[in-house]
Amino acid sequence: MEKENEMKNDMDMLHGSIGDKIMKFALPLAATGILQQLFNAADIAVVGRCVGKTAMAAVGSNTPVITLILSLFTGISIGANVVISTLIGQRRNDRVKNAVHTALLFAFVSGIVFAAVCEVFSRQILERMSIPDNVFNMSLLYFRVYIAGMPVILLYDFSSAIFRSRGNTRTPLICLMTSGVINVILNLFFVVVLKMTVNGVALATVLSNLISSVLLIIFLMREKSEIHFSFSDLGIDRKLLYMMISIGLPAGVQGMVFAISNITIQSSINKLGEDVMAASSAAFNIEIFAYYILNSFGQACTTFVGQNYGAGLPKRCVRATKIAFAQDMVITVIMSLLIFLAGKPLLHIFNPDSTVAAVGMIRLKYILLSEGINVVIEIISGCMRGYGRSFVPAIICTAGICGVRIIWVYTAFKSHKTFSMLLKAYPLSWIVTAAALVAAYTIMRRKTMNNFFADTERE
């Protein structure tokens, strides 16, 4: 029975149908992102209602720097996913075992090192965020507690990547749901019962991440497949680690640069007044759900292409990319339209002010009605990472998205300082980036990987 349950969660990406398997892979992954966002909102709601606006501001002020740090390792975990899925496709089980143990040991050790460095320089790091004096000490307290959980946060990310390499997105989702419920309970216990402040919310987050990572490690230890984990096999395979970093680091740096460009956009929003700040924040918390959906299909494309590329099946690589693109486009456009149509009632949940809702709808219009362009970016970037070509999409996305937005802020927006003018940077940057990625993908197929795509007889 245990063996049957494991096989039920895993999927054969190398044979049979593709469309239903991509759906089975992507939807739990999207649900995972959405749940994480809801649990984060619960954190803010608890401190906002039970402690006050200062505590709420303290938690929010940590978001940019924490996102900046985690983006690097999220990218490297994608590299681990690509390497392991490719080795699975090649049926090199010994190398898969080495890659699994290398990834997990790297995650835990890196988490310890970065947590230690951030603890030592925590004050200097936050001082660069221009946090108001009345919020700073509480922000510092939250940061120090939260960052101590880096080892278990990275363990969850890398363990999830390992399960995804076999097409299993259900197990990480189940673990997240379990730890998320515990997180909410601990939030209330620490803040309401024990009268803690932001340190209570941060501690609850650390403990819930510990629970989710421990659960995933236990499931890996119970695995009967090639991704089985054993403490006795822990070690670093330098060649495999280099491959993970070379594929994942560009994606990680890309995420970090995105965070920096978003800070630039946010600083411009802050200059437009409280109503715009509140409206933009509320709209972001609504529109992000559409992004989690479209991003999940990009990650599905990465894993499917990675396995089939490793197995030498070019037709299935191309077919998986086309199917992932079609499914992502249809579902993302429909969901974006539904969210947009329900925009005003959803915005009123965050703030009853009609002005805030009206301004928030401006953001939703520019972002949600352009998400179809973003689908092109996610699928092509995910596809190229599956082939092990992650550097080119990282450079293109960094220049196309971040570069265009920063230039727009200091040119067009500087001349016409309106919210609508600022938001035009989003669809414009997506159009430029999508066009460049299509060109890069075409060149990759015709030149650097011509032999692989020409050889279709092995399927």
CA distances (Å), origin 381, targets 81, 110, 265, 337, 396: 15, 26, 23, 24, 10
Q: Which of 397, 383, 90 is nearest to 240 (CA)?
A: 90
Domain count, the chain: 2
Is residue 267 domain-shared with residue 343, that is, in the same domain?
A: yes
Asked if residue 303 and residue 208 are part of one domain, the reply reads: no
Domain-embedded: residue 450:
yes
CA distance 253 to 243: 16
Q: Tens-digit pLDDT profile for the chain (459 aa)?
A: 444 444 455 678 888 899 999 999 898 888 888 887 777 767 767 776 777 767 766 776 677 778 778 888 888 898 898 899 889 888 888 999 999 999 999 999 999 999 999 999 999 888 876 667 787 888 899 999 999 999 999 999 999 999 988 888 889 989 988 988 898 899 889 988 888 888 898 899 899 999 999 999 999 999 988 899 999 999 999 999 999 998 888 878 877 777 777 777 877 776 777 677 777 877 887 888 898 899 899 989 998 998 898 888 888 999 999 999 999 999 999 999 999 999 898 888 766 778 878 988 999 999 999 999 999 999 999 999 888 888 899 899 888 988 899 899 999 998 998 999 999 999 999 999 999 999 999 988 887 777 777 654 444
Q: Does some domain include residue 143?
A: yes
* Distance, CA of 86 to CA of 96 (rounded, Å): 9
Q: Are residues 158 and 298 in the same domain?
A: no
277 and 149 in a single domain? The answer is no
- Give the structural domain span for 454: 262-459
Chain-centre distance for alpha carbon 214 = 21
Question: 194 in a domain, yes or no?
Answer: yes
- Residue 213: inside a domain, yes or no? yes
Handedness of CA 33, 242, 116, 111 (dihedral sign): positive
